[in-house]
Amino acid sequence: MPSELVLVQRKNKVATLILNRPEVLNAMSKEMLVQLRDVVVQIAADESIHVVVLKGAGEHFSAGADVALFSEKIEPYDWLVAMKGVGDIVRTLREMPQPVVVMLKGVAVGGGANLALAGDFVIAAHNARFCEIFAAIGLVLDYGGTYLLPRLVGLARARELAMLAEEIDGKKAAGMGLIYKSVPEEALEKEVQSLAETLAAKPPLALRLIKEGLEKSFDMSLQEVLHWEAAHQSVMLQTPEHKEIVKMFLEAKKKS
């Protein structure tokens, strides 16, 4: 069994997943992908974890696929199996009940870039380097990039990022709406921790259903969305968490 290529650290209700190959900029090997797939499935099923943070060890998030893989003799069927495993990781991150906060510093290239975008909140350092490198090396987008880019920034910007394969920094990524926020590198760790703690303090079922509803909304008509909201809100209005929050609000209003 290889060493731990994905580290898991838990603090209170937050689980931090760390891509752990810093010597190669956290480039993803087959073994790392298997470990990451297993870890995210386990975390998704753990109700004691309310928020997930995803980051890279050392000074970088991920340089994408390990270039050593491209020199190996791998049959097309085996590539297909591997890419379906990648799809399992992305789908789990998008569908898991916990909000996923990505801390992005250094490089996020190719599959590393799109793995980051699979999170719910991406906070990058201003000087982080983001690149959809695929077109430059004769490949198509993977790790869900074909789905994620146009939904995040629109089709025109998605074409720009995917077809030109030019590097952008964290500040530009935030400016075009590709990611949630960009901050100075020295403030990155604190900003991610603050966001994770804020999310962890909120009712987990509400966050879970909000995440689910937003994700499904692209495939639903307005009528279907309204039906989904009505069905779920009628349940949420009866939860103890909601009733307790309302009670606290009313009591505070009386005192003011």
- Domain region containing 217: 204-255
- Give yes or no: residues 130 and 245 share one domain: no
- Give yes or no: residues 222 and 180 share one domain: no
- Give yes or no: residues 53 and 146 share one domain: yes
121: amino acid identity, one letter: F
102 in Cβ contact with 121 (< 8 Å):
yes
Residue 151 resides in a domain: yes
Of 83, 8, 85, residue with least CA distance to 43: 8
- Give yes or no: residues 144 and 73 share one domain: yes
* CATH label of the domain that carries residue 228: 1.10.12
- In angstroms, rounded to a whole number, what is the distance separating the alpha carbons of residues 213 and 234? 15
* CATH label of the domain that carries residue 181: 3.90.226.10
- Give yes or no: residues 81 and 122 share one domain: yes
- Give yes or no: residues 98 and 128 share one domain: yes
Domain count, the chain: 2
Structure tokens at 96: 């898991």
- Give yes or no: residues 221 and 171 share one domain: no
- Give yes or no: residues 110 and 159 share one domain: yes
pLDDT tens-digit map of 30-77: 999 999 999 999 999 999 999 999 999 999 999 998 877 777 778 888
Q: What is the pLDDT of residue 250?
A: 87
Q: What is the pLDDT of residue 116?
A: 98
Residue 164 resides in a domain: yes
- Give yes or no: residues 149 and 70 share one domain: yes
Predicted model pTM: 0.93
Residues β-bridged to residue 183: 125
Residues contacting 115, CB < 8 A, separation 6+: 28, 54, 62, 89, 90, 93, 108, 143
pLDDT tens-digit map of 134-144: 999 999 999 99
Residue 1 resides in a domain: no
- Give yes or no: residues 93 and 188 share one domain: yes
- Give yes or no: residues 221 and 119 share one domain: no
